[in-house]
Structure 1
Amino acid sequence: MKRKLVIAVPLLALVALVAWVLRPKREAQGEAFVSEKVAPLLNSIAQVREQVGMVHYGERVDVIAKRNDYVKVRTNAGVVGWVESRQLMEPALWQRSIKLLDRTRGMPVQARGRTKVSTNLRVQPGRTEPRLYQFARNAPVEIVGRATADWVQVSDERDNSNEPQETKKEDWFLVRGVATGPPGDSSGRAAEPINTTQPGDQTVPIAGWVVTRFIEMDLPDPVREGAASANIRPVAWFELNRVSDPSGDKPQYLLAAARGPEGQTCDFTALRVYTWYAKRDRYETAFIENRLCGQLPIQLGKGPKDEPEFRFHVMDGKKEERVYRLIQTVVRRVREPGEVSGKRGSTKMGKPASK
């Protein structure tokens, strides 16, 4: 009996060891997150293949294998399939996107707009920076910041001469938007902080940098006409207040804009305030401030008598904060007691907004 046990125990141990070595290998090589609105899961990467499922933006997947431009993944639901590697982002990039979203949550909206074309959303300003997502055409976004980056020209845009090429810069907007997740829940959740998405999410909040030229601002007509008349590029706009009119309450607007080419250090160089003139039944340019070097964000507030106020910092050595107050149709700069009044910018009143 003892001899049988001496023989059986090693045999059982050997069988267990062989079974462990030959066990199915299902361990993942890592994890990734989906960076596309929708990405198909394929049963193989051969020419003849079938779709076995779909993954959506923000979904976490386990990486099982990699081959050429494809990655074999397993979803949280256990579905296994192949997806293009360009449709996934590394965990480190995903965490950067989460931090960027958290950073923008408390930033005041400076303007709203829509994408003119399919537009890449990047983690930092610059066309060579990692891509977080791609907005479809006509996707709504909220603009919360601005920066500049070098404009990297493609080979056919470059001058073939041996002379050194001047570095060009272009403007970028920091925007908030939503990425579409799996269908199911029709309620928007853009205000909820999340780290990953779950099946059933309809929209997922997202933030990043886009080229400003790819954004069409949703400007009110008085602001659009006033900017076109003054030949300035809108950067931010706000509704300051509303005034009574027989035809209904009329909003009055603040516009921050820039003049000249892109790539300037200043976020904006000009201010305009458009007020409603009831007697003439039209908007007029009540305030003009030029030769500024303003920095976003512009923040709105109220004066002691509930008058609209707006404030921002000037991009100079002192980072001076300026405060302006709208009193009826007159805009005045608010100064601290003892502050010396310097030379004012160009200030004019009573000009039609569209002329």
Structure 2
Amino acid sequence: MLDPDDDHACVRALLGVHDLADGVVVCLAAPGSPWPVLARDVLLALGKDRRALDAAGPRSSAPGLLELWLRAEQVHHLVVLRAHLLPFSTLAAVDRLAVATGVQVWRVAHGPLHSARTPTTLPWPAMLALLTVPTAADRQKPTAEEQYATVRDLAARAGRAWRIYTERTRIRARKVRPDCALGVLLQNLTIDAHDGDDLLLRLHAARVGLRDAGLHLVLPALATDTRLLGYLGPRFSPETVTRLRRLACPLAVGALTLARATDSSAPWLAKTRLDWTDPCGRHVRAYTGTFRVPPQARPMLRALLLDRASRDDPPPALFIGRDGKALLGRRLAHRIRAGADLAGLPAGEAAIPREKCYTPETFATTFTGATNLQPRSKH
């Protein structure tokens, strides 16, 4: 890409199209950077924190870590500003990275000395137009009415199956926990709520869907209980995802993401197997059901899966330590706590190595005592 006038507008415009949701990463290269330094700069552009990069390993490991995260984030375009000031060895390494990851790399040369055109060069305004073409991320989101109908229908479908089971076993009420089917359903229906109003809409739709199936879901007064509402969601707000992206270690960020998504304690997470996890990071299966991972949090789980795939003959467990052995609850709790501290997020009780399969106050157990699933009266 050519910027013969060395125009500040070019740098500002290209930095403005940096958007991981669209798969576009823009990095301002330091003059004369060797490949490990440039790789670290691109990792910083991906949102990584300097302390997290230091904790992830020596600087020489940055290129391998960069390749992993480009794949996990599903980056399509990497724009390197000031590329004309980089040594040949670094540019050759960038080309190898493009081949290995399938990422389209755009090297920007600034100044009149670099204005010679070749068949593979473009002026920067033309490149800017290519990078700003609308993508799937720009598609219109469902309306509140459409979202309400979807959640209601999913809840009704589950409720019809539960109605039969409830009548056969004469269960009067079900307390809600993460390791029960109702807790899994509520997680699936609300995990990607983007604000408190959206969460309330989804919960109300779930209650209506279950009522249509002949079941009565009793919810606490969420509209007036600001503490409980603030605890329930949104789980993966834009600020939370930004903080998760600070982490460079795939194991730490993957464990912390699943802990937030499922509310499982570390010993319970440690039981998770690789074949229970969707290869694209969309969901993870547990003994009682399948927990959803919202789209904005899937790159963290994909990074964990890519890191695990790079190990030689790993055990069936999802979480593998540096020694190649499966992490038990205590070690996994330590990694979750360390990752939460680096990300600036609350570790929660997932960082406590309890032997229980659920924590005292989680997404589902906050409803315990206030949320019951009961057969509707026939009167």
Q: Settle same-fold status: TM greater than 0.5.
A: no
TM-score bracket relative to the smaller structure: under 0.3
Higher helix share: 2
Q: Relative contact order, CA 8 A, sep 6+: which one is greater?
A: 2
TM-score by length of 2: 0.21
Higher strand share: 1
TM-score by length of 1: 0.22
Question: Which has the larger Rg?
Answer: 1
